[in-house]
Amino acid sequence: MGNIRITKQFNFETGHALFGYDGKCRNVHGHSYKLSVTVIGKPITDTTHVKLGMVIDFGDLKRIVKEEIVDQFDHATVFNKNTPHVELAQELTDRGHNVILANYQPTSENMVLDFADRIKARLPKNISLHSLKLQETDTSFAEWYASDN
């Protein structure tokens, strides 16, 4: 049996600021992100298996992405931990806000790289991450493909 790609989509709200950037995104702001996660594998052919015909149960993929990405990033504010934003991050944290201090500038490009690593680490050994699409706005997105990496 051949490989099949399956995709599950997720939505979450996240704020960020791009320190040192020369445009409006240097200010703290947020996006309604849309994340499409595509995995590839062979459907289960064992007729006694409860997940016969599935590459991966959509519920299992949902659990992985929800735990690794959505639950952590939804309604959080992401700052690069190597910038002066750490002072603002500390104040927000002290006031009960969910803040993520990332090892990178929180652009869509860097976020999608981070998400790929997180998801790949959790997939079953017979399933591969094929691609991610992180949509920041209706017209702007970053994509990650395993074949490019």
Largest Cα separation within the chain, whole Å, is: 59
* 109 is annotated as an active-site residue: no
Residues 33 and 20: their CA atoms lie apart, in Å, by 23
Q: Name the DSSP letter for residue 66.
A: I
Residue 29 assigned ligand-binding role: yes
Cα(62)–Cα(19) distance, integer angstroms: 32
Q: Which of 75, 87, 91, 97 is catalytic?
A: 75
- Return the half-sphere exposure (C-beta side, CA atoms, 13 A cut-off) of residue 122: 16
Is 25 considered catalytic here?
Answer: yes
130 catalytically annotated? no
The reply, when asked if residue 97 is annotated as ligand binding, is: no
Helix (H) or strand (E) holding 67: none
Tokens found for residue 66: 């929800």
Per the CB < 8 A criterion, the answer to whether 111 and 139 are in contact is no
CB atoms within 10 A of CB 64: 21
Residues annotated within the binding site for Zn(2+) are 16, 29, 31
Enzyme catalytic residues:
25, 75, 136
